[in-house]
Structure 1
Amino acid sequence: MEKYLLCLSNGGYAASLEVRKSYEFVPDARAADRRCIRIVDEDGEDYVYPENLFMAMEVSESASRALHQRAA
């Protein structure tokens, strides 16, 4: 299963993040050391944001495929 994050707040990043939208999580140890996470946006670009803006969610393989199709 792939890991996705649900955006709970876009505080300070209103132009970049959409509340209640799911984002694909990309593991990044350096970001985690700074209490941040790396996500992939709808354009396929990855960015680092404070971890407190998101909530982790696990999705099934079929749901992951559907999310990838939505982003394409």
Structure 2
Amino acid sequence: MNQMIPNGHPPRFAVCVRNDGYELDLALHRRYEVLPDPSAERSGWIRVVDETGEDYLYPAKYFRPSGSAADAERPNES
């Protein structure tokens, strides 16, 4: 599967490593799609599609890049 997001780049993913204050919206150790938001990223935030299916800003320190492109093709693990 080779999906592209609107800006022509392949989707990025990050793993949630912390969810203080966002326990209902973010599951620890789950991989989330990251949407580009350069302004937010410059301010230490990251835009992800969370458990609600909507995209929201969260502290970037709550996430780690998911790794290889092959990881992006694997389903989320609960």
Q: TM-score, normalised by structure 2?
A: 0.70
SS at match of 2:46: strand
Tell me the number of residue pairs that the alignment of Structure 1 and Structure 2 aligns. 66
- Structure 1 residue 22: Cα displacement: 0.5
Higher relative contact order (CA 8 A, sep 6+): 1
1:27 & 1:62 partners in 2: Cα distance?
16
Is the helix fraction higher in 1 or 2?
A: 1
Task: Tell me which residue corresponds to 1:2.
Answer: 11
Considering only aligned residues, what root-mean-square deviation do their CA atoms show, in Å? 2.2
Is the strand fraction higher in 1 or 2?
A: 1
Q: TM-score, normalised by structure 1?
A: 0.75
Unaligned residue ranges in structure 2 (runs of 5+): 1-9
- Structure 1 residue 13: Cα displacement: 1.0
Asked if the contact 1:6/1:56 (under 8 Å) is kept, the reply is yes
Render the CA deviation track for 1:24-67: whole Å, top value 9, x for unaligned: 0101012112100000124431000000000012333871xx54
Matched, 1:46 2:55: yes
